[in-house]
Amino acid sequence: MRDALFRAVDRRRNAVAELTADLIRFPTVNPPGEDYGPCAEFVGNYLAARGYQVHYVRAEGTPGDTDRHPRINVIARLEGKRPGQTVHFNSHIDVVEAGKGWTLDPFGGDIRDGRVYGRGACDMKGGLAASMIAAEAFVETFPDFPGAIEISGTVDEESGGFGGVAYLARQGYFSRPRVDHVIIPEPLNKDRICLGHRGVWWAEIETKGEIAHGSMPFLGDCAVRHMGAVLEAFERDLFPALDRKQTSMPVVPEGARRSTMNINSIHGGQTDDYRPGLPSPNVPDWCRITIDRRFLLEEDITEVKGEVTSILERLRRDRPKFDYTVRDVMEVLPNMTERDAPVVTAVAEGIRAIFDREPDYVISPGTYDQKHVARIGHLFNCIAYGPGILDLAHRPDEWVGIDDMVESAKVMALGLDILLQGGLAK
C-alpha cells in the first residue's frame, strides 16, 4: 500500500508544479496584503472541487485590514468516513515584496529545469501545493479513511500573523477537539523537522534630553549622548553576556544557538525630513532605538527584560540627568514541540521511508505561526515540515524544486496515513 500511496503522489508531479505556479501568479505581497481574496478563493475552489467544505474568514479589524486590503483566510475541511482525529496543514499565502535583482518575472510562475520560480515559490506556496497534493493522493488511496483533513491558507505570517493564524486560533480553529495535529509546510528542507523557534522581545528604548541652542549645548541635555552611553554599556556588558548563553535547542544555523540581540534602528533629535541642507541647530531632546532580542528556551522573559533594564537603571544612578523609557513592541515565548509528539514521530517515519535516513530535528532562529498554535490554541503537537531550501526564502530568483515537492508530499501523505489510521500503508 505504501507503493500505491507514493505512486498516487508521483502521478501528480505535473499538477504540483502547475499548482505552485498558479499560486505564485497571485502577487500576495505583504505589506500591504495584495490579492489575498483572489488567492484564498483559488485555494478554496480547488479544494471545494475535491469535496472539502470551505470557509472564508476575514480578520476584521486586525492590523492592515481595510476594504482595499481585506485579511481573508481560507480553511477547508474534508471529513473522513468514520470519526477520528484531524490533521491540519497550515500555510501562509502572503509573500514578501519581490525586491531587486530578479532575472525572471517574480510573479510569472516560470517552470523550468525541474524548478518553479517566483516570489513565494519556496516560502511557501510550494509547501501549500505539496500539502494539497499529498492529501489528494492519500484520499485517492484510502477513500474510507477515518477522521478529517484540514488545509488552510492564511495571511500576514510575514508581518506577525495577527490577521491570520492568531485570529483563527482565537476562534478555536487551532484547538482540540477540532484539530489534533498541525503541520506547517514552511521551507525547512525536505528531510528536516522543525520543532519550534526561539523567543522574541522587541522593544523601543528612548533616552530623554532637553532642547537648547546647538551653540550652547551646556544649556540643554543631549539625548543622543545619553543613548551613546546606553550603547557603550550594551557593548561592554550585555553582548558578551548574551554570547555566553548556549542553548540545548537544536537551532539552525549554529550561530543562533546563543542569545542574540539586534539593534534594528536608531533615531534622534531633528528628523531627516529636512535634508539636504536645512539643519536646525538644536540639542536633541530625544533618541530612540529599537532592539530585537532573540532568546532561548532556558531563559525567562522577565530575566531577558531585566538584563536590559538593570543596565538602564545603573545609568540612571551613575549618569547625571539620565532618564529613559522602555516600550514593549512584541513578545513571543520560545517554543519547542516534544520529539515524541505524535506529529513528530509520524513525519519522522515518513522521512525514514523516503530518504532512508534519520531526520534532522531543528529549531528556527526566527518565529513563525507555530507560536499562535501553541500560545492561543494550546496545541503542542505542531511542527514545520515542508519542501524548499530555507536560504532561498525572501531572495531574488526564489525557486522550489519539483522533486523536493514530490518527495515531501510523499512524507506528508505517509504522515496522514500514520496519524489518521495508524499506518495502513505497510
Q: Which of 34, 35, 94, 156 is catalytic?
A: 94
Please give the helix or strand (H or E) that residue 224 lies within, else none. helix 223-233
Q: Interaction with Zn ion in 275-294: which residues (CB under 5 A)?
A: none
Which of these segments, 17-25, 30-38, 123-131, 245-253, binds Zn ion (CB under 5 A)? 123-131
Residue 384 sits in the site that holds Zn ion (CB under 5 A):
no
**What's the min distance (Å) between Cβ of 190 and Zn ion?**
15
If the CB atoms of residues 86 and 91 are measured against Zn ion, the closer one turns out to be 91
Q: Closest Cα partner for 330 from 147, 204, 190?
A: 204
Applying CB under 5 A, among 40, 59, 121, 124 the residue interacting with Zn ion is 124
Alpha helices in 234-360 (DSSP H): 239-243, 301-318, 342-355
| Among the residue ranges 80-88, 119-127, 193-201, 373-381, the one whose residues contact Zn ion (CB under 5 A) | 119-127
What angle do helix axes 2-10 and 126-141 make, rounded to 10 degrees? 130
What angle, 0 to 180 degrees and rounded to 10, lies between the N-to-C axes of helices 36-48 and 126-141?
Answer: 10
The catalytic position among 136, 150, 157, 417 is 157
Does 123 sit near Zn ion (CB under 5 A)? Answer: yes
Task: Give the integer Cα–Cα distance in Å for 392 and 102.
Answer: 13
Instruction: Tell which positions 176-195 bind Zn ion, by CB under 5 A.
Output: 186
CB of 127 to Zn ion, least distance (A): 8
Q: Min. distance of Cβ 30 from Zn ion in angstroms?
A: 11
**141: part of which helix (H) or strand (E)?**
helix 126-141
Cis peptide before 83 (omega within 30 of 0): no
List of E strands, 255-336 = 260-268, 286-295, 324-332, 335-336
94 in active site: yes
* Cell digits of residue 165: 493564524
122 vs 227, beta carbon nearer Zn ion: 122
Give the residue with the Cβ less far from Zn ion, 159 or 309: 159
Helix (H) or strand (E) holding 82: strand 82-92
Cβ atoms of residues 294 and 364 within 8 Å: no
Q: Decide: is 238 part of the binding site for Zn ion (CB under 5 A).
A: no
Q: What is the DSSP letter of 237?
A: I
Stretch that binds Zn ion, among 3-11, 52-60, 120-128, 306-314 (CB under 5 A): 120-128
* Part of the chain binding Zn ion (CB under 5 A), chosen from 1-9, 117-125, 229-237, 306-314: 117-125
Q: Nearest-CB residue to Zn ion?
A: 123
- Residue 119 near residue 182 (C-beta atoms within 8 A): no
Rounded Cα distance between 167 and 176, Å, is 16
| 254: annotated active-site residue | no
Cβ neighbours of residue 321 closer than 8 Å, sequence gap 6 or more = 210, 221, 226
Residue 101 buriedness (CB in 10 A; 0-12 / 13-18 / 19+): exposed
Number of chain positions touching Zn ion (CB under 5 A): 3
Q: 10 Å Cβ neighbour count for 388? A: 28
Alpha helices, H only, 264-366: 301-318, 342-355
> Shortest approach of Zn ion to residue 384 CB, angstroms?
9
What residues are annotated to the active site? Answer: 94, 157
Q: Can you give the binding site for Zn ion, defined by CB under 5 A? A: 123-124, 186
